[in-house]
Amino acid sequence: MFKKYRNIVAALILAALMTGITGGCSRNQQETGNTKSLTIKGSDTMVHLVTAWAEAYMKVHPNAEISVTGGGSGTGIAALLNGTTDLCAASRKIKPKEVELAESKSIFPKEFVVGRDGIAVVVNPDNSINDLSMEQLKKIFTGAYTNWSQVKGEKEKIVVLSRESNSGTYVFFQKTVLKKEDYTAEALLMPASSSIIQSVSVDKTSIGYIGLGYALDAGEKVKIVNIINDNSTDPVSPTMETVKNGSYPIARPLHLYTDGKPSVIAQTFIEFCNSAEGQKIVVETGYIPL
């Protein structure tokens, strides 16, 4: 008799536990304003960095409970607008349209710059090209140039690789390099930075763009192109110094957003990110400190 119902009893206990847990969670979330738990959601580019920060922060503040999830900058901003996250990590600036939407929900996003990220243009190591100007890059990615010979390379068709349109990097590259023009319809849209590296390392004629951290990690598999600024003739390679002093043109700030004035824990967390220790983590994870 008892045996017969054992499974059911076990299931009921499990169910009770689970409702207990989720109930507990939602209570936590309601109180996040003044307790020690913090949720951070947003950019996939920043997820390693924010996780490393959270771990280091929790070591110093054992009472703090920080949960970090990715999903993309847009997802994070949407979560901030819906009140389902305390902090939002974004590799792009919040759009005016999103601010408008937020204010209609009486949410007032406050921006904190916590680091920088360089974007490297990569080609196959066998490609003879070493330097490209911003103008040439624009022409390649918008499809005005379709052959490497047009930029003094070998006589071969250019295969343009881009990230997917949901990527913050896609939008940033479009804004800075393509000067807000559209990518060529011939561009192959790759689902992840790793697939761009994979393709560039095997296709001799392809060109793509990825975060500097990824490009440096890829090592010999790809060649990082030096960029020639507008009004200049000197090629600049993306390094910590050139991104920091602004001479490398394709770099962007990384942001954290809060709703209005940050809570005490959010404030201390942001202060931690911008501290010497926090910025050391920025370097360790392959990004550029402030």
Partner 1 sequence: MQFFGAYQLSNWKDKVIKLIFLSAASTSVLVVALIFLFLGNEAIPFARDPGIGELWQSRWSPVSFVKESFGIIPLITGSLLVTLIAIVLAVPFGVGGAVYLSEIASKGEKEFLKPFIELLAGIPSVVIGFFGLIVLSPLIKQVFHLSSGLNAITGGILLALMAVPTIVSVSEDAIRAVPGYLTEASLALGATRLQTIWKVTVPAAISGISAAILLGIGRVIGETMTVMMVTGNAARITLSPFQSVRTMTATIAAEMGEVPFGSDHYRALFWVGIILLLFTFALVLLSHRIMKKYKSLP
| Of 254 and 282, CB closest to partner 1 | 254
Q: How far is the CB of 192 from partner 1 (least distance, A)?
A: 9
| Of 59 and 97, CB closest to partner 1 | 97
Q: How far is the CB of 66 from partner 1 (least distance, A)?
A: 23
Q: How far is the CB of 187 from partner 1 (least distance, A)?
A: 6
Distances (CA, A) of 271 to 48, 113, 125, 133, 278: 18, 11, 41, 38, 9
| Of 161 and 281, CB closest to partner 1 | 161
Cα 144–chain centre separation:
28
Q: How far is the CB of 35 from partner 1 (least distance, A)?
A: 28
| Of 29 and 199, CB closest to partner 1 | 199
Contact 286, 216 (CB under 8 A): yes
| Of 86 and 98, CB closest to partner 1 | 98
Cβ-proximal residues to 77 (8 Å cutoff; 6+ apart), any chain: 42, 88, 90, 94, 98, 109, 257
Q: How far is the CB of 183 from partner 1 (least distance, A)?
A: 8
Integer Cα distance of 68 and 155 in angstroms: 47
Q: How far is the CB of 225 from partner 1 (least distance, A)?
A: 18
Q: Which residues bind partner 1 (CB under 8 A)?
A: 71-75, 78, 95, 97-98, 156-157, 159, 164-168, 170-171, 174-175, 180-183, 185-191, 195, 198-199, 202-203, 205-206
| Of 228 and 256, CB closest to partner 1 | 256
First to last CA, the chain: 68
Q: How far is the CB of 257 from partner 1 (least distance, A)?
A: 15
Phi/psi region, residue 260 (left: phi>0; alpha: psi -120 to 50; beta: rest), is: left
| Of 7 and 245, CB closest to partner 1 | 7
Task: Please give the single-letter amino acid code of residue 47.
Answer: V
CB neighbours (10 Å) of residue 235? Answer: 14
